[in-house]
Structures are given as structure tokens and as C-alpha cells.
Structure 1
Amino acid sequence: MNRLAQSRLLRFIEARLTPGSEFGLHLTAGLALMVAGVSMFREIADAVGEQDDIARFDVHIAQWFNTHAFEPLTTIMLAITHTHGIVGMSIASTLLALWFWHKKAPYWLLSVLIVAPGGMLINVLLKNVYARPRPMFEEPLLTLATYSFPSGHTAASTLFYGLIASYVFTTSPYWKRRLSVAAFAIAMVLLVAFSRVYLGAHYVSDVLGAMTYSAGWLAICIAAVSTLRRRRAARRDQ
């Protein structure tokens, strides 16, 4: 590689890692997280499709929870899972969008409008591509007719709480607040995921797959909206 090519390569890398650039670090980080999420999802999906060890582990865990279910935990898990269903998450996303509108944060409002519908559309497509049957039991706690992989409830909660955590991380100058909200978001996603496995609606790999693809989708959406905001700001400053 000659010096001119090396110089161009270094300038390209520097531009991709510059925090304030419109195509800088935020976009690089978003693409990296998207690639990581898609890669992890593919690994999980391949293992599920090949009926690998993870599939046997799935069945074992599902049977164990069905056998050892008890009250009041079952009622609590039903409340959590129903709260994070289509109706509950639609209401929550609408309220979040209204809050961003009230805060005069149009780009975060745009993020809500892209992240939630797009993520759930991807979920429907993936369910039909893999067409994995849900866990089956002699005495099920919850019965659903749709496909199992990946979990829609887990995907929706990952997108919703992940978006809130991203907003706080981006706008708050206080690390304690950032870490508290991040911990809350992670805890809520894990709680929803656990409720789906506990109730026998999904296998463990279903919720893991939902988390990975949703995290990747969330990352690239936020990066894209941030790029749009930076480009428009740069044009106004010209």
C-alpha cells in the first residue's frame, strides 16, 4: 500500500471514530452493535434449526418450569407477561412518543416510530421463517397458537426499555442516573423473558434470539436517526 492510500485509509478510520462527525463514532458503534446482534442471533437460530444441544436444553428447562410452577409466582408472571403484550406495549410506546413530543425531542420521537413497529415486523417475519412450534405440555399454563422463535414479548420489551436507556445515556450528564436506568432496563427485559419461559410460552433460545436481534435493530435505528440529526444540524450551520 502506497503512502497516498495509507493516508486515505487513516483519514477514513479517523472520520469513523470522531464523536462529533455526522458519519462518525455513533454510526460506527451502531453498525458494530448491529453486526454483533445479528451474528449472535444467527448462532442461536442455527443451533435451534440443527436441534443442537441448545434445543435439548430448551426442552429440559421448559419441562422443569412447568413441573415446578407454583403460586403466587404464576399469577405474578402472568401479570408481567400480559402487561408486556401487544396492547400493553402499544400503550407504553404511545405514551413514550407523547413524552418525547412534549419534551420537544423530535428525533427521539422518530426513533419510537421506527424502532417499535419495525422491530415487531421483523419478529413476525422471523417467526414465519423458522416456524418453530411452541413448547407443549400435558397441563400448560399458557396456550398460544402462533410460532415460538423468537419471542415477541421479549423483543418488544428489549426495544422499549432499550430505547429509554439509550435516551437517558445520551441526554443525562449523571453517571448514577445512567447506570440506574440501564440496570432497570436490563432487569425488566430479563423479567419479561423469564415470564415467557416460566409460563411455557417460549424456550430459552426464543428469548435469547429476541434479545439479540432486537438489540441490533435498536442500535442501528438510533444510529441512523442520530446521523439524520447531525446532517441537518451541519447543513443549518453552513
Structure 2
Amino acid sequence: MGVTTGWTMKLRRFVEARLSPEGELGLHMTVGVALMLVAIVVFHEIAEAVMGMAQITVIDLQVAHWFNQHAVPWITSCLLVVTHLHGVLGAITLATLLGWYLQRKGATYWLFTLVITMPGVMFLNLLLKYIFVRARPSFDEPLLQTALSTYSFPSGHTATSTALYGLLAAYLICQTAPGAWGKRIAIALGAFLMASLVGFSRIYLGAHYLSDVLAAMAESYGWLAICIAGVSTLRRRRHIRQTK
């Protein structure tokens, strides 16, 4: 009975520590790991469906060819601008500007998060492309004339933009007043819509399938969650050591 009570107390203390907003391995790390695990499950389900040629691949083809056949010139022009602004060079430029902004604000830990998040998500995306080796969509009259030399799954443009806008949103949300939920929701929604716009541009222009974009968003959110949680843990650990 005493052993059972001892284990119960230890389990209770462990759970309380994981849910504490103050501890170095508290609520922030618990939420980060939980979000990462959810993202991994979502990515796995999409990848398994794609590789197994499930119903989603049929939807992929239908969506891709519908946009190719119903393209509107002015929309195509706008989405070409969006997609080119979020290519490799564009992503590096935007990340550099965000880094400059964070440095100006003295947000050292957020800057460090940016430094590990962006190169990390680019490398992870490239690795996944060569694991799944999925061919790009093919059309008789493609909207995007630029040669695409890499594989399709998951979308690199979507992954990097999701990480970039997600990180910016996380920083801005942390700077808002605790009770300003309307503003926080607006920031999160804005970041999601920007990443979705980039993903939509890739589908519309025929560079990627719908499942490529969905998988990229899941991949990127999972990576971003663990990066933010990891750096937050580092910051809290240093703070605790300095106050002892």
C-alpha cells in the first residue's frame, strides 16, 4: 500500500511539473511536444495515404487539373508573384528581415529560434522529398514555366512560409497583453492565411498536389513547435540558474 501511494505521489508531482507554467520543463514543453506529436501523426497519415495511392491521390489529380483548366490570367499573375516571393531566395530574404527586426527588438531567444527553425525546416523538407520521391504534377500546358528539378512531396515553399509566418505570429502573440484574445486570434489567423496562400499558389500553378501542401504544413508546424519549446526551455533553465 505504501509503495502504491509513493508511486501515486511521484506521478502526481510529475504531472503537476509538466503542467506548470513556471518550470523549465513545464507547460510550454508539454504543449510543444504534444503539438509535435499531433503534427507527426497528421503527416504520417497523409504520407501513408499518398504512398498507398489512396483516395487522396485521386483528389490531388482532380484538383490539379481543375485549376490548370480553369486558370484566370490575372489570378495566375498574382499567384506567380506570391510563389516567387516565397522561393528559396525569397524565404532567405524574408527570414533575414525578420532576424533584423528581432535583433532590433532585443529578442535574442526569438532570434536564436529563427536561426534553428528556418535552416532546419529547409533541410527536413529536402530530406523528406528524397525519402518519398514523388513526381511533380504534369500538364500539357503548365502554368508555371520554370523547370522544377526537385521532388513534389512535401512542398518546400509551403513548409518554409509556414515556419516563417508561424514564428512571427508566435513572437507577436507573446508581445500582446494577456487578455487580448481577439488580437491573438487575429495574428494566428493572419499567419495561417499567409502560409495557406503560398500553399494555394503552388497548387494553382501546378507545382504541387494538395496533399503535398497539407503535409508540408503539418511538417512545419511540428518542427516549429519543438523549436520554440526547446528554446523556451533553454531560456527558462538559464533564468532559474541565474536566480539561484
Q: TM-score range by the shorter chain?
A: over 0.9
* 1:75-114 alignment, distance < 5 Å: 75-114=77-116
Match of 1:51 among 50, 53, 65: 53
Give the CA RMSD over aligned residues. Answer: 0.9
Residue 216 of structure 2 is aligned to residue 213 of structure 1: no
Distance 1:146 1:87 in 2: 16
Gaps of 5+ in 2: none
Distance 1:171 1:16 in 2: 24
Q: Which residue of 2 aligns with 1:9?
A: 11
Runs of 4+ with >4 A deviation: none
Q: Which residue of 2 aligns with 1:145?
A: 149
TM-score, normalised on structure 2?
0.96
Distance 1:179 1:4 in 2: 43
Gaps of 5+ in 1: none
Residue 190 of structure 2 is aligned to residue 188 of structure 1: no
Residue 41 of structure 2 is aligned to residue 35 of structure 1: no
Identity of aligned residues (%): 50
Partner amino acid, structure 1, of 2:51: G
The Cα of 1:39 is off from its aligned counterpart by 0.7
Distance 2:182 2:53 in 1: 43
Distance 1:194 1:83 in 2: 14
The Cα of 1:177 is off from its aligned counterpart by 2.6
The Cα of 1:69 is off from its aligned counterpart by 0.7
Distance 2:167 2:157 in 1: 15
Residue 175 of structure 2 is aligned to residue 171 of structure 1: yes
Distance 1:183 1:126 in 2: 27
Moved more, 109-118 or 93-102: 93-102
TM-score, normalised on structure 1?
0.98
